[in-house]
Chains A and B, each alone.
Chain A
Amino acid sequence: MPRHFHPIRLEIFKSLFHSVAEEMGAGLRRSAFSPNITERRDYSCAVFDAQRNVLAMGDHMPVHLGSMPASVIAATNAFNLQPGDAVLLNDPYAGGTHLPDLTLVMPVFPAQTKRGKPLFYVANRAHHADIGGAQAGSMGLSREIFQEGLRIPPVKILEQGRVNRDVLNMLLANVRTPKEREGDLTAQIAACRIGERRLQSMLTKYGWKELSHYAQELLNYSEAMMRTVIRSLPNGTYRAEDFLDNDGITETPLRIAAKIEIGGDRAVVDFTGSSPECAGSVNAVRAIAESAVFYVFRCLLNDQIPATSGLMRPFKVITPEGTIVNARPPRAVAGGNVETSQRIVDALLKALSKAVPQKIPAASQGTMNNVTFGGTDTRPGRGDKPFAYYETIAGGMGARPDRDGVSAIHTHMTNSLNTPIEVLEHTLPIRMRQYSVRKNSGGKGKFRGGDGIIREFEMLTEMEVGQLSDRRKRGPYGLAGGSPGKPGRNAVKSGPHMQQILAKGHARLKKGNILRIESPGGGGWGKPKKR
């Protein structure tokens, strides 16, 4: 029986827990149905201990890290979970982030157990291409969460191993592409079961005492690693702010204010002074701000650390209620997860650049350029099939203190892939006209910001198209005298005319219209003269 911390066992269990999360992810990706999960990998899988701490999370989406535990807490607060149960939820105000992210939580008991207290939990979250609401793709501009889609508090989707058809039918009746949703949910359940089986066989092999001991050591280990990172920063208070262009309803820029206090191996991150929650949909829930803090500090460590809840222990994160970083119901939140999260990172990095300038890159594109398409495929022979599709577009990475930023790459809180053009055209009434690097859009400097992307979609049938993007007015900042990257641009071409359109909004596009997105370039680093 282990009584103390053992470096060898620790290393072995670290990898074991991590591989459970990775394996769940591989199963989900391979057996799900919508391109956003299978091709773009917009999902996360994680393993939790009985106290609902994250023990391992696959290398999927950083934005989900801080917010996955909230889902497990919400699920377990709602139900006394028993073997064979699983909980589904998406309510941003009860453990979710934004409505399209459907999270499944499953308790894990030793094999053959009939009832008792869960020893572990597994969870996965996947971004569904549509969850109902006013606009296809459920990412459009809204003023209330009720317009954004179906809001699902924790519900038992599985009970004693059987799918709760009532709940499922209710959900499927409220979405545009029910068959695809059902398939993706089935894959999410199967992925949870993979995690369950792996943990059960670990329980058989190592026993509960040893597993739980090392689960706790793993949390301590991540904490210790994070403390070494904080200790390496000079003590002091570092402040910065950055802005979102607007909320899509009014033109007012929205402030993210960040104050980082480093004291020994502890840090306080205070977002007091950030803008009040807004009328549009770029409100973030608190968990998103926590994810951003976690992400930024984790990147400062030049080594791999397991993504566990232990990483958060050295931090105190202050997010005043009713601000854009801790919104209250019934505010709309679709963009908080994808846009505001990026700006929080930008503000944190700007603050840290004052502490450790040689370790901090200039601002990256700072948006995910979310685009949604939805409607009915009216082309001959397609049977008027309904479709809904969502994607994000990469952009320029900020220049680093010793090298240029990378062009056309996803940065910070997301890392989703593109949908191959050939897959996209095979499945949807869309034809791609251009997909290229947006030359010279990166900020100038001793080191240049990476370039953004140009992506053009031609509509082959009439459809609803939604935009949710930022950094359209002010480009991503440069550092140490580097210039900002070029802001992004969204436009529609119809025939010979090209018209700029709003960065946050939706439109009904006609057959033959072309949507053109130019994503922002990254900021430069250092004075251009020194290049």
Chain B
Amino acid sequence: MRIAIDTGGTFTDCVYAHNGRIEILKVPSTPHNPAQAIASALMAISRRVAPQSIAPLDLVCGTTVGTNALLQRRGGRVVLITTAGFEDVLEIGRQARPKLYDFFGGRPAPLVPRERRLGLRERIGSEGEILAQPAQKEIRTLIRQVRHAKPDAVAICFLFSFVNPIHEKQIAKALRAAGHVVTASHEVFPEIREFERTCTTVVNAYLIPVMSGYLAAIEEIAQRVVRSAPVPKPDRRQRNAQSQVRVMQSNGGIVFARSAASEPVRTILSGPAGGILGAEYVANLAGYEKIISFDMGGTSTDVALLEGGAGTTNESVVDDLPVSVPMLDIHTVGAGGGSIARIDQGGALRVGPESAGADPGPAAYGKGNQPTVTDAHLILGRLGGAALLGGEFQLDAARARQILDRARKKSPSLRSPEQFAQGTIDVIEATMERAIRVISVERGHDPRDYALVAFGGAGGLHACALAAALEMPRVLIPQIPGALSALGILRADIVKDFSQTVLLRAPTTPPAFRLLQDAFKNLESHSRDQMRAESQVAPASPPASYEENSTQRQPSPTDHTSSQIRAFRSLDLRYTGQSTTLKIPASKDFQKAFHKEHEQRYGYADPTREIEIVNICVRLIGRTPKPSRPRSRSHRRDARPAIVSQGKVYFHGKWTASPMYARSQLQAGNQFSGPAIVTDYSSTSVVLPGWHANVDAYQNIILTRRKN
């Protein structure tokens, strides 16, 4: 049985397929030990289903363990080995300060302090030539120093190792022989820019102890669950052996736990990546290819643009640390339900990025003393009542109103708490509108061509307003907005990304083309070697911005698995002299495609300029079997049976009578018009006046603007 688990801050969501249905289970998260929540979820599932169907267990986890360990600086003790003379690259970074106008600012302390950064006299030149070989004697001294420092893991990053990794390989081998856990930069991220590569390598080494401990615990839990299932003895060993734990990576694919344990840096945005896949899946079912996903939670909002698949970026920054492995291109803003609203000294209403978080939480939760976005929704009647989580949690509306009223008095032009609340919502919606513009308009995409897929606890509260502001024609609110990430994880394919910096002039002659082909062939065969471990796969569809490599479609007689893994090649290109690159599928006319993309993104192209190939990239995809979701045959238009109450909601400056619908009672085919509020177990949606709602055959709510 395949079970997907997404560990969030408040809930651990589980999604699994059983008897042709997709089932959801939510258990409270256990932040001090996330594995505990997973154990209780698995136990609960094994009680719900026929015990013998649990094994073999295929457990797929989205995890924030790596991210949290990084944010809270709870990683392992790392020794960093660099080229001598460059031990401080990690500390100096890009020499800039994060905040321009702040005498008291600074940058976070490096993950490895000076005394654990060791230099080795070696040097590779920019073309891969060996300028200085490390002396055996100095290697021995180095290994002694490393042992002395008692590290949990060792990171190695030498200059130009992405061109020639010979010295990194040599030192990694020696250290592994001495019993150390090692991450060498050419293994995780063989690309140009020493600081970004060093930092990515160090983050990886830093997270290894935490992640391997966590994953070992999960494997142990999985084994326990399987062992406790009543299976006839002869089968048991085989079933246990077939059970596996896999982990969602930030690139939108899954890998085996042991692979994630050695490359934890690839799992940093694991949870949000699941959300993107979930959004893509439900949108595709509803017939939408081009979507903008909008995931709004308590403290932050993630948006992404998908067009036949999600794009990836290698410019991610987590807590001011560059983490350059490919991640789904998700744009995050510090705006969520817990964002705090205030009138500043100049009289402007500001919302966020400060957040009341889960503790103290919004004023209505009873502890917080500052007004939040959630409080604003509550006093405007948009939460559909004073209870959350199906009545388990009561909200204090009077308290929220009082605190909002106190805050609004700082501005003479705000005459009521309602005005302050409406303003809070307007401001946060403007922030989110900008976030969506960043990923669409600013990159040459017109939001009017896209559907907005809104999820997360607060996504549905703002979806209509955002779509209206961006003139997007439709909004999709999936059936399980609170567990979409787990649903995405359940359906994820195996995805492995490999890249290599080559810095080649774009080829114009046949020999140069052959050179490029050879470089791709080498990278791909290396990639396939690595992928071979990840078995059980079927063919896949190509992701965006990758070109499928047709030469590999025929299965080779000697290598069975490689035929089921599809390879997609792409190029990171720029005009010679530029710094950042554009990712273009490695088709025959990639140069033409580059000029076109450059024009679209930056407003000009110059076909007379030389193009430089910075990186060649190979993505291997192994398709996993996927449970499908049943279509409902219901055609009932009348949504009135789902109305649980009538309420008053504040829209556009006045209170308007508005029905409250229970999401769980809406059926496929139901139709209704705004104003309306739809409440769910862990989320609420607002249907604005002028919008029309339609429940589709997959229980998604599709919102469209009524024509005048």
A interface residues (Cβ-Cβ under 8 A, vs B): 4-8, 10-12, 14-16, 19, 23, 26-27, 29-35, 38-39, 41, 59, 62, 180, 183, 186-187, 189-190, 193-194, 221-222, 224-225, 228, 295, 298-299, 301, 303, 305, 359-361, 393-394, 397, 400, 402-403, 406-411, 415-418, 420-423, 425-427, 431-437, 453, 456
For chain B residues 120-141, which have a beta carbon within 8 Å of chain A?
125-126
Least CB distance from A44 to B in Å reads 11
Q: Identify the closest chain B residue to A398 (Cβ).
A: B103
Q: Contact check, B348 vs A425: say whether CB atoms are below 8 A apart.
A: no
Q: Which of B505-513, B518-526, B571-579 contacts A (4 or more CB under 8 A)?
A: B571-579
Bound-complex Cα distance A299 to B503 (A): 42
Least CB distance from A86 to B in Å reads 13
Bound-complex Cα distance A359 to B95 (A): 24
The one of A5, A183, A415 in contact with B609, judged by C-beta atoms closer than 8 angstroms, is A183
The one of B91, B100, B347 in contact with A221, judged by C-beta atoms closer than 8 angstroms, is B347
Least CB distance from A231 to B in Å reads 10
Q: Identify the closest chain A residue to B427 (Cβ).
A: A11
Residues on the A chain within 8 Å of B89, using CB: 421, 435
Q: Contact check, B430 vs A418: say whether CB atoms are below 8 A apart.
A: no
The one of A14, A33, A298, A299 in contact with B577, judged by C-beta atoms closer than 8 angstroms, is A33
List the 7 closest pairs (A to B, CB-CB), nearest first. A38-B579, A8-B423, A33-B577, A31-B602, A394-B95, A434-B85, A417-B94
Q: Contact check, B431 vs A34: say whether CB atoms are below 8 A apart.
A: no
For chain B residues 346-381, which have a beta carbon within 8 Å of chain A?
346-351
Q: Identify the closest chain A residue to B424 (Cβ).
A: A8
Residues on the B chain within 8 Å of A62, using CB: 100-101
| Residue picked from A299, A303, A421, most chain B C-beta under 10 Å | A421
For chain B residues 308-365, which have a beta carbon within 8 Å of chain A?
343-351
Given contacts A411-B97, A422-B192, A435-B86, contact A7 B604 (CB under 8 A): no
Q: Contact check, B347 vs A422: say whether CB atoms are below 8 A apart.
A: no
Least CB distance from B367 to A in Å reads 25
Residues on the A chain within 8 Å of B346, using CB: 221-222, 224-225, 228, 305
Bound-complex Cα distance A435 to B601 (A): 35
Least CB distance from A140 to B in Å reads 23
Q: Identify the closest chain A residue to B89 (Cβ).
A: A435
Given contacts A408-B88, A408-B91, A422-B126, contact A8 B104 (CB under 8 A): no
The one of A224, A415, A431 in contact with B347, judged by C-beta atoms closer than 8 angstroms, is A224
Given contacts A38-B580, A423-B193, contact A10 B104 (CB under 8 A): no
Residues on the B chain within 8 Å of A186, using CB: 604, 606
Residues on the B chain within 8 Å of A436, using CB: 85-88, 92
Q: Contact check, B579 vs A5: say whether CB atoms are below 8 A apart.
A: no
Q: Contact check, A406 vs B97: say whether CB atoms are below 8 A apart.
A: yes
Q: Identify the closest chain A residue to B347 (Cβ).
A: A7
Bound-complex Cα distance A228 to B347 (A): 12
Given contacts A7-B343, A431-B125, contact A422 B97 (CB under 8 A): no
Residues on the B chain within 8 Å of A15, using CB: 430-431, 434
A-B contacts besides A410-B97, A426-B503, 12 pairs, CB < 8 Å: A15-B430, A15-B434, A19-B438, A23-B442, A221-B347, A359-B103, A408-B95, A411-B97, A418-B94, A423-B193, A435-B88, A436-B92
Bound-complex Cα distance A27 to B601 (A): 8
Residues on the B chain within 8 Å of A416, using CB: 95-96
Residues on the A chain within 8 Å of B126, using CB: 422, 425-426
The one of B194, B438, B577, B580 in contact with A421, judged by C-beta atoms closer than 8 angstroms, is B194
Residues on the B chain within 8 Å of A224, using CB: 345-347
Q: Identify the closest chain B residue to A27 (Cβ).
A: B602
Least CB distance from A120 to B in Å reads 18
Q: Contact check, A415 vs B96: say whether CB atoms are below 8 A apart.
A: yes
Residues on the B chain within 8 Å of A193, using CB: 603
The one of A12, A180, A221, A432 in contact with B427, judged by C-beta atoms closer than 8 angstroms, is A12
Bound-complex Cα distance A59 to B95 (A): 16
Is B598 on the interface with A (CB-CB < 8 A)? yes
Q: Contact check, A190 vs B86: say whether CB atoms are below 8 A apart.
A: no
Least CB distance from A426 to B in Å reads 5
The one of B96, B195, B347 in contact with A410, judged by C-beta atoms closer than 8 angstroms, is B96
Bound-complex Cα distance A34 to B431 (A): 33
B contacts with A: majority SS:
loop
Q: Contact check, A27 vs B603: say whether CB atoms are below 8 A apart.
A: yes
Q: Contact check, B193 vs A422: say whether CB atoms are below 8 A apart.
A: yes
Q: Identify the closest chain B residue to A428 (Cβ).
A: B126
Bound-complex Cα distance A301 to B102 (A): 8
| Residue picked from A7, A32, A194, most chain B C-beta under 10 Å | A7
Residues on the B chain within 8 Å of A190, using CB: 602-604
Q: Contact check, B195 vs A420: say whether CB atoms are below 8 A apart.
A: yes
Is B58 on the interface with A (CB-CB < 8 A)? no
Is B118 on the interface with A (CB-CB < 8 A)? no
Is B539 on the interface with A (CB-CB < 8 A)? no
Q: Contact check, A194 vs B95: say whether CB atoms are below 8 A apart.
A: no
The one of B97, B434, B577, B579 in contact with A180, judged by C-beta atoms closer than 8 angstroms, is B577
Q: Contact check, B193 vs A7: say whether CB atoms are below 8 A apart.
A: no
Is B483 on the interface with A (CB-CB < 8 A)? no
Q: Contact check, A421 vs B430: say whether CB atoms are below 8 A apart.
A: no
A-B contact pairs, 14 of them (CB 8 A): A29-B579, A31-B598, A190-B603, A394-B96, A400-B103, A403-B106, A408-B92, A415-B100, A417-B95, A427-B577, A433-B85, A435-B85, A435-B88, A436-B87
Bound-complex Cα distance A436 to B438 (A): 36
Given contacts A33-B577, A421-B159, contact A7 B411 (CB under 8 A): yes
Is B160 on the interface with A (CB-CB < 8 A)? yes
Q: Identify the closest chain A residue to B131 (Cβ).
A: A431
Least CB distance from A400 to B in Å reads 6
Residues on the A chain within 8 Å of B236, using CB: none
Given contacts A299-B102, A453-B92, contact A7 B194 (CB under 8 A): no
Bound-complex Cα distance A78 to B394 (A): 67
The one of A35, A187, A415, A433 in contact with B602, judged by C-beta atoms closer than 8 angstroms, is A187
Given contacts A305-B346, A418-B95, contact A409 B160 (CB under 8 A): no
Q: Contact check, B95 vs A19: say whether CB atoms are below 8 A apart.
A: no
Bound-complex Cα distance A182 to B615 (A): 26
The one of B348, B423, B579 in contact with A39, judged by C-beta atoms closer than 8 angstroms, is B579
Residues on the B chain within 8 Å of A427, using CB: 577
Least CB distance from B266 to A in Å reads 22
Residues on the A chain within 8 Å of B431, using CB: 15
Bound-complex Cα distance A470 to B170 (A): 44
Q: Identify the closest chain B residue to A224 (Cβ).
A: B346
Least CB distance from A407 to B in Å reads 7
Is B648 on the interface with A (CB-CB < 8 A)? no
Residues on the A chain within 8 Å of B44, using CB: none
The one of A299, A303, A431 in contact with B344, judged by C-beta atoms closer than 8 angstroms, is A303
Q: Identify the closest chain A residue to B603 (Cβ).
A: A190
Bound-complex Cα distance A423 to B94 (A): 13
Q: Identify the closest chain B residue to A436 (Cβ).
A: B88
Residues on the A chain within 8 Å of B387, using CB: none
Residues on the B chain within 8 Å of A32, using CB: 578-579
Q: Identify the closest chain A residue to B582 (Cβ).
A: A30
Is B558 on the interface with A (CB-CB < 8 A)? no
Bound-complex Cα distance A391 to B430 (A): 38
Residues on the A chain within 8 Å of B103, using CB: 299, 359-361, 400
Q: Contact check, A421 vs B604: say whether CB atoms are below 8 A apart.
A: no
Residues on the A chain within 8 Å of B426, using CB: 8, 12
